[in-house]
A = this chain, B = another copy of it.
């Protein structure tokens, strides 16, 4: 199955619309979806995005509706409550609700980040910071580890 790869930054217009990267759209439609499901990441820094199939799988895992049982994870319920299904319009755009953008700090630009079977949406600056941190950590690890002189800094 095709994977969500690479990082694309797009603009959010005054009406709150953003283009979903064309490649991502084609992957979604390959899977048979014309909408995406968004919900806040647990770390609170990004929005997670997946298709409805993933949500269905999740629900199946936590079990169906049974008012007599208390064992249904409240986390899972919170997830369903925080998630939104967004239709992709005829021009390939979505409108992310303010509840999600505000929490993450997204304003007029956002970054789509491939994660394989799903992707994330970030505000540009925090994403930058995060990437730099990751790279730095990798660099340190490399430096501390072996004498790998193939420098690429």
Which of B54, B67, B75, B142 is within 8 Å of A58, CB to CB? B67
Given contact pairs A3-B52, A131-B78, A67 touches B83 in the complex (Cβ within 8 A)? no
Q: Is the interface of A mostly helix, strand, loop or mixed?
A: mixed
Given contact pairs A78-B135, A138-B75, A58 touches B48 in the complex (Cβ within 8 A)? no
A138 touching B3, Cβ below 8 Å: no
Question: Which of A1, A5, A52, A85 has the largest number of chain B CB atoms within 10 A?
Answer: A5
Residues of B within 8 A of A80 (CB): 3-5, 114-116
Question: How far, in Å, is A132 (CB) from chain B's closest CB?
Answer: 11
Q: Which residues of A contact B (CB under 8 A)?
A: 1-7, 23, 37, 39, 41-43, 48, 50, 52, 54-56, 58-59, 61-62, 64-68, 74-75, 77-85, 113-118, 131, 134-135, 138, 142
